């Protein structure tokens, strides 16, 4: 089924954000160290796998709409201590949530309820990711951005 080019472009931008998130979380998993790393490194790995499932769903949808799924990652941040990593991850989640909500609106306006529903489910999971980093960062007693 030939999809709306605006929806395909928007989904490719979502896919690039997901690929960037996979890489960022993986790199944090590989390189994070410090006192809390035993607790936090597995969370980076698990979240990276969640992002991979998102990438897969979005790529399959692009392919179904006869678009070409992108292989380009959005810019990823690396380095710093665990707190900096979690702040960078939180910022990434906030950016994704904001953009994905515009894609939900676009899909709604285009009458593409399947894309809208998929993006609503993905946003709900990004909100859980953001909540996870907010919760851990708040325990450090410092102010969030
Ligand atoms: Fe995601
Ligand atoms: Fe996420």
Model confidence pLDDT, tens digit, residues 77-94: 999 999 999 999 999 999
Is 108 in a helix, a strand, or coil?
helix
The model carries a pTM of: 0.94
User: Using 50, 70 and 90 to split pLDDT, how confident is the model at 141?
Assistant: low
Q: What is the mean pLDDT of the chain?
A: 95
Q: Which residues have C-beta under 5 Å from ligand 1, the single-atom ion?
A: 18, 51, 54
Q: Thinking of the domain 5-139, which architecture would CATH place it in?
A: Up-down Bundle (1.20)
Cα 84 to chain centroid distance, Å, stands at: 17
Q: Which two tokens stand for residue 64?
A: 């179904």
CA of 119 to the centre of ligand 1 (A): 10
CA of 34 to the centre of ligand 2 (A): 23
Which positions ≥6 away from 97 have C-beta within 8 Å? Answer: 123, 126, 127, 130
User: Using 50, 70 and 90 to split pLDDT, how confident is the model at 142?
Assistant: low
pLDDT(137) > 70: yes
Q: Which two tokens stand for residue 78?
A: 């690396």
User: Using 50, 70 and 90 to split pLDDT, how confident is the model at 144?
Assistant: low
């Amino acid at each position: 089924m030939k999809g709306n080019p605006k929806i395909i472009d928007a989904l490719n931008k979502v896919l690039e954000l997901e690929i960037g998130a996979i890489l960022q979380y993986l790199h944090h998993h590989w390189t994070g160290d410090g006192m809390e790393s035993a607790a936090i490194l597995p969370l980076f790995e698990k979240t990276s796998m969640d992002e991979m499932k998102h990438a897969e769903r979005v790529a399959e949808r692009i392919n179904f709409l006869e678009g070409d799924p992108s292989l380009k990652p959005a810019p990823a941040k690396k380095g710093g201590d665990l707190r900096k990593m979690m702040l960078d991850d939180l910022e990434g989640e906030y950016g994704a949530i904001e953009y994905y909500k515009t894609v939900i609106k676009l899909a709604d306006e285009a009458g593409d309820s399947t894309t809208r529903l998929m993006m609503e489910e993905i946003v709900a999971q990004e909100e859980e990711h953001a909540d996870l980093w907010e919760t851990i960062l708040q325990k450090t007693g410092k102010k969030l951005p």
